[in-house]
Chain A
Amino acid sequence: MEYFVQQLINGITLGAIYGLIAIGYTMVYGIIGMINFAHGEIYMIGAFISLIAFLVVGAAGITYVPLALLLVLVVAMFFTALYGWAVERIAYRPLRGSFRLAPLISAIGMSIVLQNYVQLVQGARVKPLPPVIRGGFTVMEADGFAVSLSYLQIIIVVVTLALMAGFTYLITRTSLGRAQRATEQDMTMASLLGVNVDRIVSATFVIGASLAAVAGMMVTLYYGVVDFYIGFLAGIKAFTAAVLGGIGSLPGAMLGGLLIGLIEAFWSGYFTIEYKDVAAFSILVLVLIFRPSGLLGRPEIEKV
């Protein structure tokens, strides 16, 4: 029971991070119908920028932890969002209206470029960060096994929930969100009605990248290590989460992320840790075969 609760806590934390990345996939897919293969690398860049920002903030002598966290968050979100924007501008926008696989191939190329760029400029070695937030609670204790809930895990879940709330507000209540939903439904019609479609697509990439930056910052804090290769696997898992929840659906992305996080935590807790990545890939394959529209998605109708 205690072990179960511990895995539940770990799974929810992991799921919050996957959910944040998954939103980027699902929004981009909803609006321009492409798999943004480079999104995992954007998340990796977010993690790297957060790491660098932590060190810079530390070197500047800011020791008050909440202020430091806030500064790093803002810096990481800003720069990562700019990376997301630039990637869309360079590699995807000129290909709108090209044949279907062109943006995907371009995105794969971009993902290779970003990964190797970071490897070249920052080195291939794993970068450690000493723990910034220590301590936590012991939730329950029995038979010598203590279930712990760290402050960091609480922060991760709370920040994720806050971002989700803000994001939902943005999509459902603001004019930007309305324009985004209109573009998602019909790009041509939206542009005829005076929506600047290019700007809306850019905004989508910016929002997705800044959420990925938050995820990257949390992973840096949670695991304490970053390397240039983390984007690939995290990207695939977050994409799986988006597909599981129903691609194009925002609550679906969050739900999918949570499920993937829980499955991974329980899988490595009760089965084998070596095959935990196989679990994620298998879920992806199974969902796509048996329920391609996901849990909360609408079935897609193919038009001629």
Chain B
Amino acid sequence: MAVAGDTARSQGFAEMLKDAALASLVAAVLAVPLLGIRLIDSVQGLLLDTRIDWVWQAALVVFLGRLAMRLLARGAMTGGVAAGRRAFARFGERLAGWMGPLGWLMLGFAIVLPFLPFSDRNVVDRATLVLIYVMLGWGLNIVVGLAGLLDLGYVAFYAVGAYSYALLSSTFGLSFWVCLPLAGLLAASFGVALGFPVLRLRGDYLAIVTLGFGEIIRIVLLNWYHVTGGPNGISNVARPSFFGLEFRAPIEGEPATFSSFFGLDYSSYHRVIFLYFLILALAMLTNLFTLRIRRLPIGRAWEALREDETACRSLGINPTNTKLSAFALGAMFAGFAGSFFAARQGFVSPESFTFIESAIILAVVVLGGMGSQIGIVLAALLLVGLPEWFRDLQQYRMLAFGGAMVLIMLWRPRGLLSNRDPTMRLHPPGGERAP
């Protein structure tokens, strides 16, 4: 018996070796034209250079990777990994129970972050950037995670918010606090205007159309010189004030500034911390809104629509209006985030609103598990925070993004911490526990 098992295993291993060798052969052939030959720019035009060692390395990596993959897959069949996977699933369930406390813990950490001993301007600045993506991810999550509409042009609404604030404040001199709701409103109206004609379309067509809209808005911003400043953008956007108290060095005879009002020494760090708390508050607003609206009829209609549109239609839910509300609300939060972005940078240009930006936000949502709030925070930390700390990896960042999107789809199509359970249940699985 044991002998038979051994031969089967060794045959299996030989087969695996063959499979891995085949994969590495394909990889080597694929690598020849693009990795094996390098184009060199020179004054006489392009020159060629070879780097055959890269081809071998690529083939070797693929060979080992494929072999490891097959061994793991066999391990899963013989039981070792299966037990591990069960344990992982149990861990996931337990983790789901810890989600609430974990969320509070993270919020607590976020609040004290600027006052921790290791925090400096850099840390807070990067945390602000991560929070922008957390907020965008939560906003897009309403559209993608809850309503199940794949929006590839989300950055368009972000751009609308940013340009609304930049234009309103530089043309009419309106303050940030007046512009913020206006920017959200404008972005939401754009969402309605763009969404209304196209939301009847099926999932993948909708994705491409939203991508088209995103690009149209970017091209218009790029070419409408006398309003948007074209590729130069709009600079000197007014910075937000703390309830009318500005962040600048106090000048005698001028209205009080933030530092003079509170009797502090002036430091430009104050503004950084203020902006950090501002985006934290905005992000938490988005989070709270999402958590609450999921319990309302409209939120439940979104989740139902995501699962089965035909069934919803026959139950009397109006799919167009329901989708439109998700689209508009998602756009509104992008508008808020956009006006914050403009206020933080003090400068907007079409360059910040390319398709790649949409793809990054989508990657955050997809990776985090569509529908999971905490998952999005973790994904934003991973995708935006990590590369910010490791500058050397910057050039591999997009490669890793794309690779992560593919791998997540292959491995866990519902995302890392997937949460597709309906928010409301008629009969909760665990007895009378609140959902």
Contact = CB atoms under 8 A, between A and B. Distances in A.
Interface of A: 34-35, 45, 48-49, 51-53, 55-56, 59, 75, 79, 82-83, 86, 90-91, 94-95, 98-106, 108-118, 120-123, 125, 127-130, 232, 236, 239, 243, 272, 274-275, 277-278, 281-282, 284-285, 288-289, 292, 302, 304
Contacts of B426: none
30 contacts: A35-B208, A48-B33, A51-B39, A51-B46, A55-B48, A59-B48, A91-B406, A103-B409, A104-B203, A104-B207, A106-B406, A106-B409, A108-B152, A109-B363, A112-B356, A112-B359, A112-B398, A112-B405, A122-B39, A232-B355, A236-B215, A275-B219, A275-B223, A281-B212, A284-B208, A284-B212, A285-B198, A292-B205, A302-B310, A304-B310
B406 A285 contact: no
B198 A289 contact: yes
Given A49-B34, A285-B209, A120 B198 contact: no
B212 A82 contact: no
B197 A289 contact: yes
Given A91-B410, A109-B409, A127 B209 contact: no
Interface size class of B (residues with CB under 8 A): 35 or more
Contacts of A274: 219, 222-223
Contact of B198 (A49, A51, A108, A288): A288
Contact of B406 (A90, A125, A284): A90
B207 A55 contact: no
A288 B197 CA distance: 10
Contact of A129 (B37, B46, B152, B213): B46
A111 B359 CA distance: 11
Contacts of B222: 274
Interface centre among A49, A109, A120, A281 (most CB of B within 10 A): A109
Nearest to B211: A236
A106 B410 contact: yes
The 5 closest A-B pairs by CB, nearest first: A109-B405, A112-B402, A113-B402, A281-B212, A109-B406
Query: What's the dominant secondary structure at chain A's contact region?
Result: helix
A132 to B, nearest CB: 13
Contact of B398 (A56, A116, A284): A116
Contact of B204 (A59, A100, A111, A116): A100
Contact of B150 (A49, A101, A120): A101
A56 B405 contact: no
**Main DSSP-derived SS at the B contact region:** helix
Contacts of B115: none
Contacts of B13: none
Given A55-B48, A106-B405, 9 more contacts: A35-B207, A79-B29, A79-B32, A101-B204, A106-B406, A109-B409, A117-B399, A122-B38, A282-B216
Interface of B: 26, 29-30, 32-35, 37-39, 41, 45-46, 48, 54, 148, 150, 152, 197-198, 200-205, 207-209, 211-213, 215-216, 219-220, 222-223, 310, 355-356, 359, 362-363, 366, 395-396, 398-399, 401-406, 409-410, 413
A304 B401 CA distance: 35
Given A86-B26, A106-B410, A292-B201, A130 B45 contact: yes
Given A82-B26, A105-B409, A284-B209, A53 B220 contact: no
A212 to B, nearest CB: 15
A49 B208 CA distance: 28
A231 to B, nearest CB: 12
Given A112-B405, A122-B39, A236-B211, A102 B413 contact: yes
A108 B405 contact: yes
A105 B203 CA distance: 12
A288 B205 contact: yes
Contacts of A272: 223
Contact of B30 (A59, A82, A103, A281): A82
B399 A104 contact: no
B36 to A, nearest CB: 9
Nearest to A281: B212
Nearest to A112: B402
A274 B350 CA distance: 14
A105 B405 contact: yes
Contacts of A278: 216, 219-220
A72 to B, nearest CB: 11
A56 B203 contact: no
Contacts of B205: 243, 288, 292
A239 B208 contact: yes
B215 A277 contact: yes
A108 B46 contact: no
A123 B41 contact: yes
Given A106-B406, A232-B355, A281 B39 contact: no
A79 B356 CA distance: 27
A101 B203 contact: yes
B43 to A, nearest CB: 12
Contacts of B37: 52, 56
Contacts of A99: 413
A106 B29 CA distance: 23
Contact of B39 (A55, A98, A243, A284): A55
Instruction: Identify which of B152, B216, B404 gathers the most chain A CB atoms within 10 Å of its CB.
Output: B216
Contacts of A111: 402
**B150, B213, B398, B402: most-surrounded residue (chain A CB, <10 A):** B402
